[in-house]
Each structure stands twice: as C-alpha cells, then as structure tokens.
Amino acid sequence: MKTFEYTITDALGIHARPAGLLAKEAKAFADTVITVAKGGNAVKASQLMKLMSLGVKQGDVVTVTADGANEDAAIAAMEAFFKANL
C-alpha cells in the first residue's frame, strides 16, 4: 500500500470538474483500489458523488492511498494529478 498526504490549494476545493477528472483517472487503474480520505472518512477515488460529498475545501489535508497490483504507478499518477489540478 502506498500513500501520500496533500494540502488542497484550489480555491473551490474538490469541486465537480476536478472530481470528474480524478474519478476518470482512478478508473484507469482497474486492479488497484485508490482512496481519498478527509478526517475519518475515506471514499474510493472512482466514486464521483461520494468524493464530492467529502466537501474537501481549500486548506484541507487529504490522505490518498493506492493498494493493489499497480499501486506504484497509481500513486505516482495521483500525486501528479493533485499537484496539477488541486
């Protein structure tokens, strides 16, 4: 299992557009479970509506984990995605 923490810088937080893109990105790693957690709540990155319902705002810290056959590539893709979009 791989993990990293990230502090959101986007003014709107994880809003519809990046959540949609993130869910799409996560679905590409079919054999790996990617989760996003805020506080005690963790959801799969591919669960678009749940991901949005976390209500992640600017300044919040999220924990992203990848677990599965392709976790190295997945976590690298996630880190790159968060830095570029959030």
Partner 1 sequence: MILMQGKGVSKGVVKGPLYFFRRQDTTVVKTTVNDQSAEQDRLQQAQDKAIAQLEALAERCREDAGDESAVLFETHAMFVEDEDFVECIQSTMEEENCNAEYAVQTAGEQFAAMFAAMDDAYMQARAADIRDVARRILNNLMGVVEGGIDSDEPVIVAADDLAPSETIQLDKSKILGFVTQGGSGNSHTAILARTMGIPAVCGLGDALKADYSGRLAYVDGETGSVVLEPDELTLATMREKYARQQEMNALYQTMKGQEDVTLDGKKVNVYCNIGSPEDVAAVLSNDGQGIGLFRSEFLYLAADDYPSEDTQFEAYKSVAAAMDGKRVIIRTLDIGADKQVAYFDMKKEENPALGVRAIRICLNRPEVFRAQLRALYRASAYGKIAIMFPMITSVWEVRECKRACQKVMAELEKEGIPFNKDTEIGVMIETPASVFVAEELAREVDFFSVGTNDLTQYTLACDRQANDLGKFFDPHHPAVLRALKMAADAAHKAGIWIGICGELGADVSMLPTFLAIGIDELSVSPSAVLPLRAAIRKSIAKTCTLEALEC
C-alpha R_g of the chain? 11
Active site residues: 15
Q: Can you give 18-58 as a three-state secondary structure string?
A: HHHHHHHHHHCCCCEEEEEEECCEEEECCCHHHHHHCCCCC
Contact window for partner 1 (CB under 8 A) among 20-28, 30-38, 59-67, 72-80: 20-28
Site residues for partner 1, 28-67, by CB under 8 A, read: 44, 46-50, 52-53, 55, 57
Using CB under 8 A as the criterion, which residues of the chain lie in contact with partner 1 when the complex forms?
12-13, 15-17, 19-21, 23-24, 44, 46-50, 52-53, 55, 57
